[in-house]
């Protein structure tokens, strides 16, 4: 007999409590087995006429219910529509019983309450929430290409109002306990240790007032909203969603339709429409791709980065050398997580500028939309700005982010290593220079690695932890744990030019320039990349990165891979004309100010015109294939060279590092949906362009054997 996940107890004789606590799991999820247990408990409790109330809570402090069991979802991806609709109806009818009991039902929510967990809570008559920072309520199904399927789209608009439900369900973002109370989703908010008492108090109130019975009646009918209001809400939300999703994510619009249609029906009919709608989305390519992305993230959270059981060292203080764009961003990331940080720079004015950036960033309050003095007072004591290396001596980890120049970096390491504690870790934020090269001359190369952040640090979740030939497991484990401590998603990669992400980005950027030289228009190339799903086109990206930086990175890659990196005069010509990208207000585009959108610039055409080759007709497919297939080819080389430990790191790295479209599931996930044989076919028309467009040994072998990148 397996251990039970739900325990029944009585807080007082007439108030039952069901505590959900999946044995051996960190979080509660609603698997079929758990739903069956809930059903069995309700079978017994529903018959009792002596009860005043039922409280549903979690036995795991800080996590209520994380949602449905997504592994069961994956197993059902190919199921026929009627089975999916039946699955939805079964779950919903079970939860619905919580709104039909002879007594009041109350969900006591401490910690995450998401997806199916939020739907269970919504079917209860009342909800109380803890004020813990871990408590959040949300229906994030759209992020998986779905919408709530256990009655959430019928229940939430009836409790919180249609407009609020549209925002929560189509946006998929969680809300705080306070917001939930304002919207009428939470009836009370209390400290975690007072939550059970708050739930009991609600039971006693309802026992007297019987208000829950009136609400049950009200919430089973249509929503009180005028036709005009409904039409207006539908039209504005639809416009907004289409603008946000660009037709690439169908779930939010489908959710809106179900919400709007269900508004004028009974809750029962709305639930039936919901199940039918879910059956359409479930198992779609976007749903399957987004489930893959979910599992990439989940795997990453559990990954220690190493194959041994070496333990990360505790990190209490860090040091950052170089207070430029990256150094200040990195320092801010630590300070925000309350880790004391020394930040050093050789130039006093650069240090002053960088430190100001750190303080501005950590003091920003998104509600005030500006600097929050209280935050400044809290965080400022954690920042130690210095021009002296001596102040870094107390750090457990020091990250170097000075200019991209191997000899300058080596000088810094030579100076600093002797001053550090013997067990301190030294790391570099270099974006291209091999770790092995930088480790030469170090006394403790085993305590050296790359910790490569992406720009802007505040926004980009990826960190590449780069293992040099001598880096120890303990060092890697510490770097991985530290990155996670500040909320980043680290992947461990082996040393090599461009490491993982920049190496895969280069063929794409390189090909964009080649397409331009072959006569494609900048706007057409940009549009093709965006239609594929990239957050910005390659030329906008060039301008954001800076053309000087891009040339340097290109040279490193050309030196390493001359057979497939084409050298052209495009970037040098633009740089020579003073066009360094967005920072100089001109590059491939011109800019009115540093953060404005790029505009077409006739001066650019004049400069580039003489470089263009004979124009060839290029279709949209040519543009897409030439931009993205070389990335797949480079990924096969990266896998063959064991730069990554798993194909999943390639996909996570590109999604989190450059915004590769999540709805495609990841580069190699996407490649698998095409199949290696088809990719080989797609490459054929471009064979004459050389190695960069010719299938690799690995791809040919996969095409021959029907192999996939993702093996079960």
- Structure tokens that stand for 199 in this block: 């739930």
Q: Give the burial class of 517: count Cβ atoms within 10 A of its Cβ; 0-12 exposed, 13-18 middle, 19 or more buried.
A: middle
**Sign of the alpha-carbon torsion through 685, 691, 692, 694:** positive
Site for ligand NAI contains 406 (CB under 6 A): no
CA distance 341 to 331: 7
Separation CA 689–CA 622 (nearest Å): 13
50 to 19, 42, 43, 217, 463: CA distances (angstroms): 20, 14, 15, 22, 57
Residue 419, SS3 per DSSP: coil
CB of 408 to ligand NAI, least distance (A): 5
Q: Decide whether 363 or 431 has the Cβ nearer to ligand NAI.
A: 431
Residues 434-463 that bind ligand NAI (CB under 6 A): 453, 455
Closer by beta carbon to ligand NAI, 394 or else 531: 394
State residue 369 phi and psi, 5-degree precision.
Answer: 55, 40
Shortest distance in whole angstroms from residue 232 CB to ligand NAI: 44
Closest contact distance (angstroms) between CB of 362 and ligand NAI is: 18
Check if the beta carbon of residue 190 is closer than 8 Å to that of residue 198: yes
Q: Confirm or reject binding of residue 555 to ligand NAI (CB under 6 A).
A: no
Euclidean distance between CA atoms 658 and 666, whole angstroms: 11
**For residues 30 and 39, is the Cβ–Cβ distance under 8 A?**
no
CB of 405 to ligand NAI, least distance (A): 8
**Please, what is the minimum distance in Å from the beta carbon of residue 170 to ligand NAI?**
34
DSSP string, 211-240: HHHHHHHHHTS-----HHHHHHHHHHHHHH
Among 234, 322, 434, 587, binds ligand NAI (CB under 6 A): 322
> How many Å from the N-terminal Cα to the C-terminal Cα in the chain?
30
Q: How many residues bind ligand NAI (CB under 6 A)?
A: 22
Q: Least distance (Å) from ligand NAI to the CB of residue 513?
A: 19
When the beta carbons of 349 and 563 are compared against ligand NAI, the nearer one is: 349
Q: Which CB, 345 or 651, lies closer to ligand NAI?
A: 345
- In this structure, which long-range contacts are made by residues 90-95, counting pairs with CB atoms below 8 Å and at least 24 apart in sequence? 90/35, 91/30, 91/35, 91/116, 91/119, 91/149, 91/150, 92/119, 92/149, 92/150, 92/151, 92/271, 92/274, 92/275, 94/35, 94/38, 94/39, 94/42, 95/119, 95/120, 95/123, 95/150, 95/151
Of residues 200 and 426, the one with the C-beta less far from ligand NAI = 426
Q: Is 431 in the site for ligand NAI (CB under 6 A)?
A: yes
Site for ligand NAI in 408-427 (CB under 6 A): 408, 412
Q: Closer CB to ligand NAI, residue 265 or residue 455? A: 455
- By the rule CB under 6 A, 659 interacts with ligand NAI: no
- Is residue 63 at the binding interface for ligand NAI, with CB under 6 A as the rule? no
- Measured distance CA(374)–CA(371) in Å, rounded: 9
Indicate the DSSP class of residue 510: H
Question: Which residue in the set 63, 174, 429, 586 belongs to the binding site for ligand NAI (CB under 6 A)?
Answer: 429
Among the listed residues 263, 401, 424, 631, the single contact to ligand NAI using CB under 6 A:
401
Choose one: 265-273, 395-403, 589-597, 609-617; the region binding ligand NAI (CB under 6 A): 395-403
Of 475 and 549, which CB lies nearer to ligand NAI in the complex structure? Answer: 549
152 binds ligand NAI (CB under 6 A): no
Q: Which span (238-246, 397-405, 559-567, 656-664) binds ligand NAI, by CB under 6 A?
A: 397-405
Contact 100, 215 (CB under 8 A): no
- Determine if 323 is a binding residue for ligand NAI (CB under 6 A): yes
676 binds ligand NAI (CB under 6 A): no
Q: Which is nearer to ligand NAI, 307 or 403 (CB)?
A: 403
Q: Smallest gap, in angstroms, from Cβ of residue 349 to ligand NAI?
A: 8
266 conformational bin, left if phi > 0, alpha if psi -120 to 50, beta if neither: beta
Q: What is the closest distance, in whole angstroms, from the C-beta atom of residue 391 to ligand NAI in the complex? A: 12
Is 543 a binder of ligand NAI (CB under 6 A)?
A: no
Rounded-to-integer distance, Cα 72 and Cα 423, Å: 45
Instruction: Determine the interface stretch with ligand NAI among 255-263, 323-331, 505-513, 597-605 (rule: CB under 6 A).
Output: 323-331
630 binds ligand NAI (CB under 6 A): no
Between the alpha carbon of residue 51 and those of residues 8, 14, 59, 145, 207, the distances in Å are 13, 4, 22, 40, 10
Residue 324 engages ligand NAI in binding (rule: CB under 6 A): yes
The first and second tokens of residue 574, run together, are 């633009």
Interface mask (CB under 6 A) for ligand NAI, residues 341-380, using x and -?
A: ----xxx--x------------------------------
Residue 446 to residue 426: CA distance in whole angstroms: 10
Q: Does 402 bind ligand NAI (CB under 6 A)?
A: yes
Taking CB under 6 A as the criterion, which residues in 72-101 touch ligand NAI? Answer: none
**Inter-residue contact 465 to 480 (CB < 8 Å):** yes
The least distance separating ligand NAI from the CB of residue 326, rounded to whole angstroms, comes to 3
Residue of 21, 404, 446, 601 that binds ligand NAI (CB under 6 A)? 404
Determine which one of 41, 133, 367, 452 is catalytic. Answer: 452
Q: Measured from the CB of residue 301, what is the shortest distance to ligand NAI in angstroms? A: 23
- Asked whether position 326 contacts ligand NAI by CB under 6 A, the answer is yes
- Examine residue 289 and tell whether it contacts ligand NAI (CB under 6 A): no
Q: What is the 3-state secondary structure (H, E, C) of 342-367?
A: EEECCCHHHHHHHHHHHHHHHHEECC
The window from 399-407, 582-590, 642-650, 663-671 that contacts ligand NAI (CB under 6 A) reads 399-407
Answer yes or no whether residue 544 interacts with ligand NAI by CB under 6 A.
Answer: no
Task: Rank residues 32 and 388 by Cβ distance to ligand NAI and give the closer one.
Answer: 388
Contact 454, 488 (CB under 8 A): no
Kindly tell me which of 408 and 700 has the beta carbon lying closer to ligand NAI.
408
Q: Is 135 helix (H, G, I), strand (E, B) or coil?
A: coil
CB under 8 Å, gap of 24 or more: what pairs does 556-559 form?
556/432, 556/433, 556/497, 556/498, 557/432, 557/497, 557/498, 557/502, 557/503, 557/506, 559/497
For the chain, helix, strand, coil in percent to 5 are 55, 15, 35
Closest-by-Cβ residue to ligand NAI is 324
Given the complex with ligand NAI, which of 322 and 507 has the nearer CB atom?
322
Figure out which of the listed residues 33, 159, 225, 325 binds ligand NAI, where binding follows CB under 6 A.
325
Distance CA 467, CA 453 (A): 15
Decide: is 1 part of the binding site for ligand NAI (CB under 6 A): no
Stretch that binds ligand NAI, among 107-115, 186-194, 429-437, 555-563 (CB under 6 A): 429-437
Quote the tokens at residue 163.
């407009």
What are phi and psi for residue 17, nearest 5 degrees?
-130, 130
452 is an active site residue: yes
Maximum C-alpha span of the chain: 89
Q: How far is the CB of 394 from ligand NAI (least distance, A)?
A: 18
Nearest approach in angstroms of CB 588 to ligand NAI is 17
Nearer to ligand NAI among residue 376 and residue 386 (C-beta) = 386
Chain residues that interact with ligand NAI, rule: CB under 6 A: 321-327, 345-347, 350, 401-404, 408, 412, 429-431, 453, 455
Catalytic residues: 452
């Amino acid at each position: 007999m397996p251990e039970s996940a739900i325990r029944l107890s009585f807080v007082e004789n007439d108030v039952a409590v069901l505590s959900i606590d999946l044995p051996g799991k960190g979080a509660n999820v609603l698997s079929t087995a758990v739903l069956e247990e809930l059903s069995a408990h309700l079978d017994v409790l529903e018959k009792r006429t002596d009860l005043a109330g039922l409280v549903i809570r979690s036995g795991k402090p800080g996590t209520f219910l994380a949602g449905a069991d997504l592994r069961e979802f994956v197993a059902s991806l190919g199921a026929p529509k009627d089975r999916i609709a039946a699955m939805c109806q079964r779950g919903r009818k079970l939860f619905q019983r919580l709104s039909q009991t002879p007594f009041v039902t109350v969900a006591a929510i401490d910690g995450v309450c998401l997806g199916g967990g939020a739907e269970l809570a919504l079917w209860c008559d009342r909800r109380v929430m803890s004020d813990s920072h871990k408590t959040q309520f949300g229906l994030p199904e759209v992020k998986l290409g779905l919408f709530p399927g256990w009655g959430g789209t019928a229940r939430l608009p009836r409790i919180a109002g249609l407009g609020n439900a549209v925002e929560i369900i189509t946006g998929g973002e969680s809300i705080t306990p306070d917001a939930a109370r304002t919207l009428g989703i939470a009836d009370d908010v209390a400290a975690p240790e007072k939550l059970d008492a708050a739930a009991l108090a609600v039971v006693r109130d309802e026992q007297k007032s019987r208000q829950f019975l009136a609400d049950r009646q009200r919430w089973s009918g249509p929503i009180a909203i005028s036709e005009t209001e409904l039409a207006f809400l539908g039209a504005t939300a639809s416009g907004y969603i289409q603008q946000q999703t660009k037709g690439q994510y169908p779930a939010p619009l489908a959710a809106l339709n179900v919400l709007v249609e269900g508004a004028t029906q009974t809750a029962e009919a709305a639930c039936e429409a919901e199940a039918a709608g879910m059956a359409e989305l479930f198992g779609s390519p976007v749903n399957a791709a987004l489930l893959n992305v979910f599992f990439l993230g989940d795997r990453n959270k559990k990954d220690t980065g190493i194959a041994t059981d070496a333990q990360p060292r505790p990190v209490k203080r860090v040091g950052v050398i170089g207070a430029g764009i990256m150094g200040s961003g990195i320092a801010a990331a630590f300070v925000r997580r309350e880790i004391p940080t020394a930040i050093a720079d050789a130039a006093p004015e650069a240090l002053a500028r960088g430190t100001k950036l750190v303080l501005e960033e950590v003091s920003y309050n998104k509600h005030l939309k500006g600097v929050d003095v209280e935050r400044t007072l809290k965080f400022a004591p954690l920042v130690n700005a210095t021009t002296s290396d001596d102040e870094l001596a107390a750090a457990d980890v020091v990250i170097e982010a000075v200019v991209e120049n191997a000899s300058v970096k080596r000088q810094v390491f030579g100076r600093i290593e002797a001053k550090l504690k013997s067990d301190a870790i030294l790391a570099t934020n270099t974006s291209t220079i091999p770790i092995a090269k930088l480790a030469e001359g170090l006394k403790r190369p085993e305590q050296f690695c790359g910790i490569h952040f992406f720009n802007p640090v505040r926004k980009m979740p990826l960190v590449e932890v780069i293992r040099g030939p001598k880096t120890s497991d303990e060092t890697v484990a510490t770097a991985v744990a530290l990155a996670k401590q500040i909320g980043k998603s680290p992947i461990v990669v082996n040393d090599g030019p461009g490491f993982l992400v920049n190496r895969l980005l280069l063929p794409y950027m390189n090909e964009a320039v080649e397409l331009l030289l072959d006569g494609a228009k900048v706007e057409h190339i940009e549009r093709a990349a965006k239609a594929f799903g990239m957050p910005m086109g390659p030329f906008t990206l060039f301008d954001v990165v800076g053309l000087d930086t891009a040339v340097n990175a290109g040279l490193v890659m050309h030196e390493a891979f001359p057979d497939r990196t084409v050298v052209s005069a495009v970037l040098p010509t633009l740089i020579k004309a003073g066009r360094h990208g967005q920072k100089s207000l001109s590059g491939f585009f011109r800019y009115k100010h540093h953060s404005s959108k790029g505009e077409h610039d006739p001066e650019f055409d004049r400069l580039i015109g003489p470089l263009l080759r004979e124009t060839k007709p290029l279709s949209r497919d040519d543009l897409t294939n030439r931009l993205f297939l070389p990335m797949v080819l480079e990924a096969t080389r990266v896998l063959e060279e064991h730069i990554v430990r798993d194909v999943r790191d390639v996909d996570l790295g590109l999604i989190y590092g450059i915004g590769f479209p999540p709805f495609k599931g990841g580069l190699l996930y996407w490649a698998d949906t095409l199949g290696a044989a088809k990719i080989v076919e797609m490459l054929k028309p471009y064979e004459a362009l050389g190695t960069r467009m010719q299938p690799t040994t690995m791809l040919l072998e996969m095409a021959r054997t029907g192999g996939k990148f993702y093996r079960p």
